[in-house]
């Protein structure tokens, strides 16, 4: 039998969730040391500001079906079970016309490992708010999760973030507060790169920058300029690729911020057919 005080905590979670989304498990009380077991993995439940919260990634490759969440106490005792159904998301395919120069790009020694280790960072302190800000204004040219073809052939990979086109030199803002874990102006594949650790397993990264404006170890606030749009690394033109990882799994950034597809405007952002809501960045 679990101790009586733990029975007072009731966790809430959505009953349905889709591939690529973030499962938010919450309780209105704080209790340290609890674990959420979901789809074969344990995730820490953090006690923050008087409540308990676990953000659990539902990966693009997570099998659809019934996967109950089990809440476990510090000793592994089962305290509560919540039913969750994972639904399939229809991810389209997208072809990238890669030049020979792009195809010949090789990552620097340690480049891929640095990005992997950023994605897997789980630091205890929470630096982020639930709502992110858009790193650059405007619409989304390429959504999260699309299966990528390179010159018509399957690349074996999916888009692990979103793309926003923008003129070279457009300032890029931190989507949320955090610590600069990666600030590398010269990555070969990722190009000029900044990686932020927002705490509690949540990280974000910003690629292809023309210039990096922060240094590793620095603390940044949401909205601070961290670099500038460019087309360095594996890029067909100036754009920002940014992505969000949760416990090493890429999740859709639009789980944290609203981002409209450019196709909704029926024209590229440079030739707007509708008046812009806000003045474009100079
Ligand atoms: Zn991209």
| Residue 219 and residue 133 in one domain | yes
276 occurs within a structural domain: no
> Residue 48: its pLDDT value, please?
86
| pLDDT mean values, one per 10 residues, the chain (282 residues) | 59 96 96 95 93 96 97 93 96 90 92 98 92 95 92 89 96 98 97 98 98 98 98 96 98 97 64 42 40
* Measured distance CA(266)–CA(261) in Å, rounded: 10
DSSP 45: P
User: From ligand 1's centre to the CA of 280, what distance in Å?
Assistant: 22
User: From ligand 1's centre to the CA of 232, what distance in Å?
Assistant: 12
User: From ligand 1's centre to the CA of 50, what distance in Å?
Assistant: 37
User: From ligand 1's centre to the CA of 141, what distance in Å?
Assistant: 9
Number of H helices, E strands in the chain: 3, 23
Please check whether residue 191 is in contact with residue 107, taking contact to mean a CB–CB distance below 8 angstroms: no
User: From ligand 1's centre to the CA of 203, what distance in Å?
Assistant: 16
> Residue 7: its pLDDT value, please?
53
Within a 10 A sphere around the Cβ of 171, how many other Cβ atoms?
Answer: 17
| Residue 21 and residue 143 in one domain | no
Tell me the CATH number at 70: 2.60.40.1930
Question: 175: left (phi > 0), else alpha (psi -120 to 50), else beta?
Answer: alpha
Domain that holds residue 177: 93-271
| Residue 107 and residue 214 in one domain | yes
> Residue 275: its pLDDT value, please?
43
User: From ligand 1's centre to the CA of 98, what distance in Å?
Assistant: 13
> Residue 277: its pLDDT value, please?
45
User: From ligand 1's centre to the CA of 159, what distance in Å?
Assistant: 6
| Residue 171 and residue 257 in one domain | yes
> Residue 276: its pLDDT value, please?
41
Among 87, 109, 128, the domain boundary falls at 87
> Residue 180: its pLDDT value, please?
98
| Residue 63 and residue 194 in one domain | no
* Measured distance CA(81)–CA(70) in Å, rounded: 5
| Residue 148 and residue 238 in one domain | yes
> Residue 265: its pLDDT value, please?
57
User: From ligand 1's centre to the CA of 163, what distance in Å?
Assistant: 5
Among 41, 65, 87, the domain boundary falls at 87
Among 87, 114, 130, the domain boundary falls at 87
User: From ligand 1's centre to the CA of 65, what distance in Å?
Assistant: 29
Please check whether residue 58 is in contact with residue 50, taking contact to mean a CB–CB distance below 8 angstroms: no
User: From ligand 1's centre to the CA of 142, what distance in Å?
Assistant: 7
User: From ligand 1's centre to the CA of 68, what distance in Å?
Assistant: 33
User: From ligand 1's centre to the CA of 194, what distance in Å?
Assistant: 14
- List helix spans (H) across the chain: 4-7, 100-103, 111-119
Please check whether residue 69 is in contact with residue 16, taking contact to mean a CB–CB distance below 8 angstroms: no
17-27 CB burial, b ≥16 within 10 A, e <16: bbbbbbbebeb
Tell me the CATH number at 148: 2.70.70.10
Please check whether residue 197 is in contact with residue 181, taking contact to mean a CB–CB distance below 8 angstroms: yes
> Residue 199: its pLDDT value, please?
97
Task: Say how many domains are in the chain.
Answer: 2
């Amino acid at each position: 039998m679990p101790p009586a005080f733990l029975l007072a905590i009731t966790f809430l979670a959505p009953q349905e969730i889709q591939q690529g989304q973030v499962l938010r498990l919450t309780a209105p009380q704080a209790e340290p040391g609890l674990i959420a077991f979901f789809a074969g993995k344990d995730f820490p439940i953090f006690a923050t500001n008087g409540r308990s919260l676990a953000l659990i990634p539902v990966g693009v490759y997570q099998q659809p079906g019934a996967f109950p969440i089990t809440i476990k106490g510090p000793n592994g005792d089962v305290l509560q079970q919540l039913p969750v159904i994972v639904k399939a998301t229809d991810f389209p395919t997208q072809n990238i016309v890669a030049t020979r120069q792009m195809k010949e790009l090789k990552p620097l020694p340690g480049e891929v490992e640095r990005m992997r280790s950023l994605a897997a960072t789980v630091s205890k302190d929470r630096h982020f708010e639930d709502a992110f800000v858009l790193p650059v204004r405007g619409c989304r040219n390429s959504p999260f999760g699309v299966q990528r073809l390179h010159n018509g052939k399957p690349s074996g990979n999916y888009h692990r973030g979103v793309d926003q086109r923008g003129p070279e030199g457009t300032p890029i803002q931190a989507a949320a507060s955090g610590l600069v874990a990666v600030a590398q102006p010269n990555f070969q594949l990722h190009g000029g790169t900044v990686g932020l650790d927002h705490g509690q397993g949540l990280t974000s990264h910003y690629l292809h920058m023309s210039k990096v404006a922060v240094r590793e170890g620095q603390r940044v606030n949401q909205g601070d300029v961290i670099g500038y749009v460019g087309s360095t690394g594996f890029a067909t033109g100036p754009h920002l690729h940014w992505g969000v990882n949760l416990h090493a799994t890429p999740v859709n950034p639009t789980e944290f911020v609203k981002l409209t597809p450019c196709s909704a405007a029926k024209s590229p952002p440079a030739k707007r057919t509708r008046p812009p809501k806000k003045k474009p960045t100079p």
